[in-house]
Each structure stands twice: as structure tokens, then as C-alpha cells.
Amino acid sequence: MPALACVDAAATPPPGYAFARHPSSLLAPEAFSGGAPPAANAASPIFDSVSCRWSTELSAELYKIDGWGTPYFSINASGNISVRPHGSETLPHQEIDLMKVVKKASGGKSAGGLGLQLPLIVRFPEVLRNRLHSLQAAFDSAIKSYGYDSHYQGVYPVKCNQDRFLVEDIVEFGSPFSFGLEAGSKPELLLAMNSLTKGSPEALLICNGYKDEEYVSLALTARRLDLKTVIVLEQEEELDTVVEVSRALGIRPVIGLRAKLRTKHSGHFGSTSGEKGKFGLNTMQILSVARKLEKMDMLDCLQLLHFHIGSQIPSTALLADGVGEAAQIYCELSRLGANMQVIDVGGGLGIDYDGSRSGGSDMSVGYSLDEYAAAVVRSIMKACDRKYVRHPVICSESGRALVSHHSILVFEAVSSAPSDYAPHNLELAHLMEELGDECRTHYRNLMAAAVHGDWDTFSASADKLKRQCIEMFKDGSLNLEHLAAVDGVCELVAKSMGVSDPVRTYHINLSVFKSVPDFWAIGQLFPVLPIHHLDRRPAVNGVLSDLTCDSDGKMDTFIGGKSSLPLHEIGGGGGYYLGMFLGGAYQEALGGLHNLFGGPSVVRVSQIDGPHSFAVTRAVPGPSCADVLRAMQHEPELMFEALKRRAEDCAAAGGDALACGLARAFHSMPYLVCAGGEAHVDVADCVLVANSDDDDSAPSRYGSTDGLSSMLSSACSDEEWDLFTA
């Protein structure tokens, strides 16, 4: 029986394919020399427009840089991401080429680089300064515009990113505005106390979080050190602890209350607001605290009202509603005799992750800094004027908005896997002939549907063919070549019909769990894109798969709701670098050690007037294998000694070389050494101290390496290492 007897004689083969005619075999698709037509489901109209010449402007539109990146990020004439450290006030010669920073950080020392291994966090302190000044300017402008009779005095919640140098920068940059800090735990309180000793004496130290006697004692000690400390009650019972400890120490406290508002927004970040929120006191508890303080002749200690609607407040309408409710509570506390001075509107000032400026999702907000500040000032002023209450100092805890833009996570794509399988057409006919009768029937139906362009019938027949073949494979009646031939035929025909999935998997030298934990945990999206080649047309759509042995270790959803990311082909030497932007808040603190992948290397880059417009003022290598092992209670020095003895016993002639390799493995970062990277790490170079005015004696922010340095130097010489690697 002819193989395609069921097909209309006038039918034509799918575009790009012909059918091999052989009297005794099933038909196999044979590709024309021109190849298959382009897939029909490319990422976007820009990506599809092959007729136009590509430009950096098209890349900016494709990746929405002008939406989420303004005014700090753009694309320069070389097709690289350009950082504008002073925002809209950045002059052309002050722009920093991100690719040049990466080459400086990761380049070999013999070529003038720092020899750091990727992944890499690049911090821009001038961006941080600009964010802080912009926030202050927005409130100053609103206060002046409305005739508000007080001032704005913000604090940075250190939980967003506790990095020492970032916190110190904020204290320094905010000192002219008496900008303070907020802490939510004892270690955060300690670092805040230490940092504020170098800041403005008027800066506030807000103490949030659950409290025990030790926490309260530490907060009161801060008051003894002349820091303007406010202990915010999260629970009613904390009042008893504050009163008891303050009497024992002889230090009169300044107390704040966190109000549990009725106002609530519906997004993920609104779960900490509303009547069922995790934190705060309801109206009955607020009245109870005020009456207790009055009975103890301590009502004058109550000076601050704090509330938090939730992070990423989507609109100024919701913001004004919540601030208005809180301002009424503030006025009522003032009426009851409390010495109210400050209203702390908490966090919630959002950023535009996807560039849409929309209030309809957690990925964007529908307002600017100026509009946010105006809504806050207007709502407080309206409530206070109605009740004839003096305008309070306005405080906010706008951590996300302050620090998200200042750092960029840079990582490398090390390889890509094509999505389609290309079988050898000459073998297909023979392999398909050996299938059973039922499978051949499904195959004929599949091919007939392809000829007629009937995708639904094709899909159903392909599914039946694959299911039948896998059952035969499980029974042992089909071998691997047959199974691969069936998959290959289905893929080839689907591709010829223009419905094949063109998405490739790009393998990235990164741990999503460590560096982008919010993507995995709550589905938070961040702008991700290549940091170079942006003057070239992207060639493929891709998803990103990390190094961890976990199926969740991937990025397959991107801003704009896209399920793939336009990418360039990997090749041509020099590596392919991607950047994740707007991740300066929370990601470093929340990241875990899945598969014992530690944090990235870090560089601090300042803008200078010079030929390259930047200087690396601090460089810290990422934690080594020894560091992450130590974090899990292992003892790398003892581990090395045990392995060294085993090497000596197992390879008497080459034991020293093996020990040398082991020692260097302990010193290396857990991530891959990619093309163009340093082949190994010199122990003497493991610590980079770039700040000449820093008096730190610690060799590394991740722990001492003295023991490992000595074990490496005793294990092998450079000549032995060269022999070992050869």
C-alpha cells in the first residue's frame, strides 16, 4: 500500500520540505537546502522586523530601558550599557561604560585587571547619593509648595541591604539632611548605632521589630550615647518591657507606636497591612498603651506614630488613603496628651521594575517621587489642619527606592542548548519502517495533517505516536535510535509548519537562589538583558538556567510578561555578559547557599574626571569554597589536611601536586571559571584592599584565610601547580 495513500494526490508538502519517494518505505521529511522558514512566535514586533537596520534605539525599546532605566541607564554608541551616576544631571563625559568596568574587574592582572571572578556586583555610590538627594528634594519641594510647617527627615531600613559600605555611604550622603537609620533586630541595631556615630547628631534611629529586654536595653544604651533613638512598639506587651528596663537603667525612653491600619492594598506586598497584618497595634491597643503611659506619668515619652501600608504601594490614591487614616490617629494621640512629634509613613515607595508606570501590578507603580511626596505631605497637612494639630516631622523608611538602582549584578552565559533536534534524514526512512503498524498509522496521519497545514490533527497524531513509541520503548521493543527518530520527525515537521518552539536555554554562571532569591520565592521580576552587543540584532529567544542542581534554578519569566528573553548568539570569544538591574534591595540579604554557591565578587565604582570616567575604589572577591564550607560548620583546614594525607597515601609520586590542587580548590570561588577568566587564584591575591584610607586589618569580609594561605604555601610551589594543571 502506498505510504501516503490517504493523502489527496494534489496535496503539497509543508513549506521548506519535500517527501522522499520510495516504494517500500514510510516517508521521511527531507529539508530543502534553503532550510526551514522563520518560526511564527518570535518575541516582539521589533525582534521580527528583519527588514530594518538594527540600532541601539531599537534595543532600548526592546528591553524597555527608557522605562525602568531612566535616568540612570542607557545604551552608548558602542552598544554597551552606560551608567549615568548623577541621574539626569550626568554630563556626557561622566557616563560610565559598564562593559569597561566588567573588563577591569575580571581581566587578568597581567593585563591591568583585578582578576576577580564572576558573578560580580557593581556598586555605584553616586547613584545612591542621587537617589537620596532626589527623595529629599521631592519632599522639600512638596513641603514648600503646600506651606507645610515642618520638615522631612528620612531613615534607611538597613534590612534592605546591610552591606557595611552601603550603610556608611547613606549616613555620609544623608548627613546634611539628618538622614537616619532603622533597625529591626539586635545586630541591625548594633550596626546602625556604630554607623550613626559618624552621622548627623539629629539623625533618627528607629527601632522596629520584636523586642526582648536585651534589645530594649541596647536601644536605651543608644540614647545614652546621644543618639536620637525611638523604640517603636510592635506589640502592646512590649510596653511593660520598655518601662521596666528604662527604670532599671535610669534612662527615659522615647516611644513610638506602630498602628495597624484598616487601609490595605491587594498585591503580594500588601500582606503586612490591614487589620490582619503581622505587625502593629489596633485602635483598642493604641488607646490602652496611651492610658497606661498616662497612669505612669510617661505620656510625654510617646512621640512617634509609625505605620506601613505595604511595599510597592501601587498608586497615590491608596497612599493618600492610608496616610490620611494614620494622620487621624496621630491627631487623636495628640488630643489625648501625647507629646507627638513625628509621623513615620514607613516603606512603600515603589519603583518601576518593568518600565510600564502602571499601578496594576507589583512590578510597577503609577507615580513619580514628586507625586509620592506630594500625596504624603498633602494628606498629613489636611488631617492636622482640620484638628488644629501642629504639623509633625515627616519620616519615611524608603529602602527599596533608595538602594535598588545603585547596584548591578553581572553574570556570564557560558553555553546555550538549542531547543530542536536535527536527525539524520537518510536514516529516518529505515527507522520509521521498523515501527509497528499502529505507530505507522499515526505517522501517516501526522504527515497528512502536515501536508494540509492542519495543526490540530498534526498535534494530536504526534502525541499519539510519541505515547505509543514510549510504551514500546519501555517494553524493550524499540531502541533509542527509533525513539530519537520519532522525536526528530515530529520536531522537523512542526518546524516546517512554523510552530516549532524556538526558545533556547542559556546556561548562566550564577545561582538564582543566592543572587536573585525573590525571583524564585515570590515571582519578583527584574530587568535582565545583555550589557553589550546592543547595537546588534538579537538572534534568538532564550531562557536562563543557573548552575544549581534544582529545576527551580532558572529564569523563564521576564518583564512585560515575556516567557523568553531576546539574546545574541554565544561565540566569537570574549564571553557573553548579562546584567540584572534594580536588584540592590533585599537580594543580597535573602540569598541562600543552595549547592554551596556563595555570593558574587563586589566592586565599588566611583565616577571621576578622566579618560575612562571611573575608578574602582573597592574590590572584594566572592567567598571561596572554604568560606561557604565554613558557613555550614565544616572546617576547611582539617578537611584539607585529611585529603592531603589521603593524596600522599594514594599517589606517592604525585602527592604534592594533588595536594596543591586541593589547596587551590579550597581557595577558589564555587562558580565556573569561564573563557577569558583567571585559570586559578593566587592566595596572596585573594584579598584586595583598594581603599587606602581604610584601616581594616581583616583580610576578607567573609572570614580569615590565614589557615588556608599557610596550607597552600606548604602544599606546593608555582612550578608544581603548573605541572599539575598540565
Residue pair 161/123 in contact (Cβ under 8 Å)? The answer is: no
Which residue in the list 6, 52, 301, 549 is annotated as catalytic? 549
* Distance between CA atoms of residues 404 and 68, nearest Å: 11
Question: Residue 555: pLDDT above 60?
Answer: yes
Residue 224: alpha-carbon gap to chain centroid = 39
For strands 565-567 and 342-344, give the pairing.
Answer: unpaired
Q: Which of the two residues, 715 and 358, has the higher pLDDT score?
A: 358
Grade residue 632 by pLDDT with cuts at 50, 70 and 90.
Answer: very high
∠192-195-198 over CA atoms, to 5°? 140
pLDDT of 176 reads 97
Chain segment 317-342, per-residue pLDDT in tens: 999 999 999 999 999 999 999 999 99
Grade residue 420 by pLDDT with cuts at 50, 70 and 90.
Answer: low
Arithmetic mean of pLDDT over the chain: 85
Residue pair 119/515 in contact (Cβ under 8 Å)? The answer is: yes
* Distance between CA atoms of residues 321 and 248, nearest Å: 41
Residue pair 446/468 in contact (Cβ under 8 Å)? The answer is: no
Chain segment 457-504, per-residue pLDDT in tens: 988 999 999 999 999 899 888 888 888 888 888 888 887 777 666 789
∠49-55-61 over CA atoms, to 5°? 70
* Distance between CA atoms of residues 677 and 667, nearest Å: 16
Question: Residue 105: pLDDT above 70?
Answer: yes
Question: Coil, helix or strand for 354?
Answer: coil
- Residue 549: active-site member: yes
CATH superfamily of 54-124+406-419+502-622: Lyase, Ornithine Decarboxylase; Chain A, domain 1 (2.40.37.10)
Residue with grid cell 567567598, as numbered in its chain: 623
Closest CA to 240 of 155, 298, 326: 298
pLDDT of 132 reads 98
Rounded to 5 degrees, φ, ψ at 616 are -85, 110
Q: Please state the pTM of the whole predicted model.
A: 0.85
pLDDT of 203 reads 98
Residue with grid cell 500582606, as numbered in its chain: 271
What are 295's three cell numbers? 497612669
Chain segment 172-207, per-residue pLDDT in tens: 999 999 999 999 999 999 999 999 999 999 999 999
Rounded to 5 degrees, φ, ψ at 48 are -80, -25
Cis peptide before 38 (omega within 30 of 0): no
Residue pair 319/313 in contact (Cβ under 8 Å)? The answer is: yes
Closest CA to 331 of 286, 395, 276: 286
pLDDT of 424 reads 55
* Distance between CA atoms of residues 45 and 560, nearest Å: 14
Distances (CA, A) of 271 to 329, 427, 618, 714: 21, 59, 38, 56
Which range has highest mean pLDDT (241-250, 432-441, 716-725)? 241-250
Residue 142: alpha-carbon gap to chain centroid = 32
Closest CA to 446 of 433, 436, 456, 437: 456
Residue 272: alpha-carbon gap to chain centroid = 22
Question: Residue 670: pLDDT above 90?
Answer: yes
pLDDT of 405 reads 97
* Distance between CA atoms of residues 710 and 692, nearest Å: 26
pLDDT of 722 reads 37
What are 312's three cell numbers? 510597592
pLDDT of 334 reads 97
* Distance between CA atoms of residues 690 and 705, nearest Å: 18
For 296-315, the DSSP string reads TT-GGGEEEEE----SS---
* Distance between CA atoms of residues 278 and 269, nearest Å: 12
Question: Coil, helix or strand for 431?
Answer: helix
* Distance between CA atoms of residues 624 and 690, nearest Å: 19
* Distance between CA atoms of residues 642 and 83, nearest Å: 48
Grade residue 676 by pLDDT with cuts at 50, 70 and 90.
Answer: low
Residue pair 507/541 in contact (Cβ under 8 Å)? The answer is: no
Question: Coil, helix or strand for 127?
Answer: helix
Grade residue 36 by pLDDT with cuts at 50, 70 and 90.
Answer: very low
- Rounded to the nearest 10 degrees, the angle between the axes of helix 369-387 and helix 316-335 is 30
Question: Coil, helix or strand for 501?
Answer: coil
Closest CA to 2 of 16, 18, 22, 20: 22
Q: Which of the two residues, 30 and 634, has the higher pLDDT score?
A: 634
Residue pair 432/484 in contact (Cβ under 8 Å)? The answer is: no
Query: What would the 3-class secondary structure string for 533-599 be?
Result: CCCCCCCEEEEEECCCCCCCCEECCEHHHECCEEECCCCCCCCEEEEECCCCCCHHHHCCCHHHCCC
* Distance between CA atoms of residues 376 and 345, nearest Å: 8
Q: Sort residue 293 into left (φ over 0), alpha (ψ -120 to 50) or beta.
A: alpha
Closest CA to 557 of 503, 483, 476, 618: 503
Specify the amino acid at residue 190.
L
Rounded to 5 degrees, φ, ψ at 356 are -90, -15
Of the CATH numbers 3.30.365.10, 3.20.20.10, 1.10.3720.10, 1.20.120.1750, which one belongs to the domain with range 125-405? Answer: 3.20.20.10
Grade residue 635 by pLDDT with cuts at 50, 70 and 90.
Answer: very high
